Amino acid sequence: PRALYAHVLNVQGRCLYDVILYRLHETPEEEPRILLECDSGVLDALQKHLKLYKIRRKVNITPCLDLSLWAVATREGAGDIANSLTQCADQALILTPDPRTEVMGWRLITKKGANLSEIIPGSHIGNTEDYHRHRYKQGIPEGVKDLPPGVALPLESNLAYMNGVSFTKGCYIGQELTARTHHVGVIRKRLLPVQFSAPLPQDSIPEGTEILTQSGKSAGKFRAGRGELGIALLRLANANEPLSLNLAGDKVKLTASIPEWWPKNSGK
């Protein structure tokens, strides 16, 4: 595949960084090159982490500040986007389906200043707010707000549903707990999309705010969101119940849902 979704875990099997890797070299004669997409807030920390494992290998790890990343969503057929790339291949470095799930469309990487309307004729340029609202609606976690480093567990975060966890790969840091949970454990909590009864002020809900059932029992914790949409780590047993959280002394109602793109046998 042209792109892979992956995670860096700590020894306790908890997420440190979520990344998308893009393969740039096309022939055996070319020097292997991998482009790595990450949360911009952890750019320096991730570089330092990767360099710890470089040892004596001749590997260069440098930021690509001359590139721009775009998320492409479309109502058209996937073939139409692919054909656009063949017409403007000199402007688009990479155009590939998002490796996490089909509902996230495509990832496009260009040189800074590229003309998007030439690469994908008839396209409309939205903003990052549109993108984040779309992924919260679909229940797609991304970056350190949704996957707090050293806190988020990969299976509770649905990373296996998004091709972000391998159960056949050889040993890796954090594998033991992840594999054990997958093979013999029951996953009682998962990240789910949530919708509030009304749009909320930006960043008005602190990360980790407790979500309660109608009887006042803890159902989980809020992670992050935009407007009336967000994502929360909830007990599956409480997912269909009326839920709420306390915000500045007021009770704010919310509802959780199971994303349609989840595997049909996702009851575990």
pLDDT digits (tens, 9 = 90+) for 188-238: 999 999 999 888 887 788 889 999 999 999 999 999 999 999 999 999 999
pLDDT attached to residue 78: 45
Which residues pair with residue 96 across a beta bridge?
A: 107
Domain with CATH 2.40.30.160 in the chain: 155-256
In angstroms, the CA 16 to CA 181 distance is: 18
- DSSP state, residue 42: G
Selected residue with higher pLDDT from 13 and 221: 221
Q: Supply the pLDDT for residue 90.
A: 62
Question: Which of 43-52, 67-76, 174-183, 215-224 bottoms out in mean pLDDT, i.e. has the lowest?
Answer: 174-183
Q: Please report, for residues 163, 195, 212, the alpha-carbon distance to residue 254 in angstroms, rounded to integers and kept in the order given.
A: 29, 5, 10
Mean of the per-residue pLDDT values of the chain = 86
pLDDT at 155 over 50: yes
Q: Which token pair is 4?
A: 């892979």
More confident residue, 45 or 249: 45
Percent of the chain with pLDDT over 90: 53
Which residues have CB under 8 Å from 37's CB, separation 6+? 19, 20, 21, 22, 69, 107
- Taking residue 36's Cβ as centre, other Cβ atoms within 10 Å add up to 16
* Contact of 58 with 71, CB cutoff 8 Å: no
Q: What is the mean pLDDT of residues 158-163?
A: 91
Judge contact between 141 and 231, C-beta under 8 A. Answer: yes
Strand 189-196 and strand 218-226: pairing?
unpaired
Q: How far apart are CA 214 and CA 197, in angstroms?
A: 15
More confident site: 120 or 261: 261
Q: Is residue 77's pLDDT more than 50?
A: no
Q: What class does CATH assign to 155-256?
A: mainly beta
Is residue 86's pLDDT more than 80?
A: no
**In the chain, what percentage of residues exceed pLDDT 70?**
86
Query: Residue 16: which of 42, 52, 55 has the closest Cα?
Result: 42
- Whether the CB-CB separation of 137 and 239 falls below 8 Å is answered with no
Instruction: Name the residue with higher pLDDT: 266 or 242.
Output: 242
Tell me the pLDDT band of 182, cut-offs 50, 70 and 90: low
